[in-house]
Amino acid sequence: MSRFADSWRSHLLTTFSGTSDGNPRWVDRIAEGDDAGFFGPGSASWAVHGGIPTLVAGIRALLMQTLHPGAMAGVHDWSRYREDPLGRLSGTIQWLVTVTFADTRVAVTESSRVGRFHERVKGSYTDARGEIRPYSAGDPELLSWVHVVFTDSFLACHELWGGAIPGGADAYVREWAKAGELVGVVDPPRSEAELRGQLRGFSEAGLLKSDERVAEAVRFIRNPPLRRSMMPAYRVLFAGAVASIPREYRELLGLRRSPLPVVWATGFVLRFVGYLLGTRSTSEVAARGRIARLEALRQAQRP
């Protein structure tokens, strides 16, 4: 049992961080810096992004993103998700964790790195009305869609499987609007009501659609190239992600909510994963170390 747990833990850490000890090189930058960052201890963003439900939120966000044909075209044309899905995953995690836990300078630098990558992502796609439209990853509509479904997914999953959020849902949406602005999102939602309204606006404007590209991406997300021993647990997390998605989007994705108690089962799997990985991420530990160092320096400088 111990060998099985150690093997699982090593594979999980490699999957999410790129290293078997869960300490990628970019975590070292989180320990450095001159301020507490955009959020800090006690913030809603630390609570949500430092929690185990992020594992389900990532699946949910990927599923939801596919429904905008412009976003799907960018993934289809430019993403390496078929050849290096774990590399793409770890790159996304690097941005999320860095903006959440690093100091402001490092967070801005990391967001600029993402922006530079997006500059070359251009092409065309057929929209929901059948018209050919050009796209670029920096289009306000696409940036807004990705930010909204990301925020909605992480909020929804934490509310289902996480603890209390300091300041509630409004605080999380308001805080994470800063991350959206760092990558170019114009007027990101700043309350739960605004988040729901912007998400609903995409549907009401007829901007979303399902096609073979969406179906292909859903098949890949349902069966990623994970170790065989991990797939039963992953299937539970996938089912939990599907259950958390409102019906209108599930139908577009061609997915059905399982009749089994998958919300409960997902919570059980998340608790098991939390036991294997520990209750606090290495990034949060690094951030707390940075903040403690800065506080000690301020104390030492007092007369």
Q: 154, 142 in Cβ contact below 8 A?
A: no
Per-position DSSP letters for 211-231, written without gaps between them = -HHHHHHHHHHHS-S--GGGH
| SS3 category, 169 | helix
Which letter, b or e, does each residue of 104-132 get, where b requires 16 or more Cβ atoms within 10 Å of its Cβ?
bebbeebbeebeeebeebeeebebbeeee
184/197 Cα distance (integer angstroms): 20
Q: What is the pLDDT of residue 1?
A: 42
256/258 Cα distance (integer angstroms): 6
- The 10s digit of each residue's pLDDT in 55-71 is 899 899 999 999 999 88
| SS3 category, 134 | strand
Q: What is the pLDDT of residue 2?
A: 47
Collect the ranges in the chain with pLDDT lower than 50: 1-2, 4-6, 8, 20, 87
Query: How do strand 132-136 and strand 122-126 relate by DSSP bridges?
Result: antiparallel
Q: What is the pLDDT of residue 11?
A: 52
* Domain chopping of the chain, boundaries: 2-301
**What is the value of pTM for the model shown?**
0.89
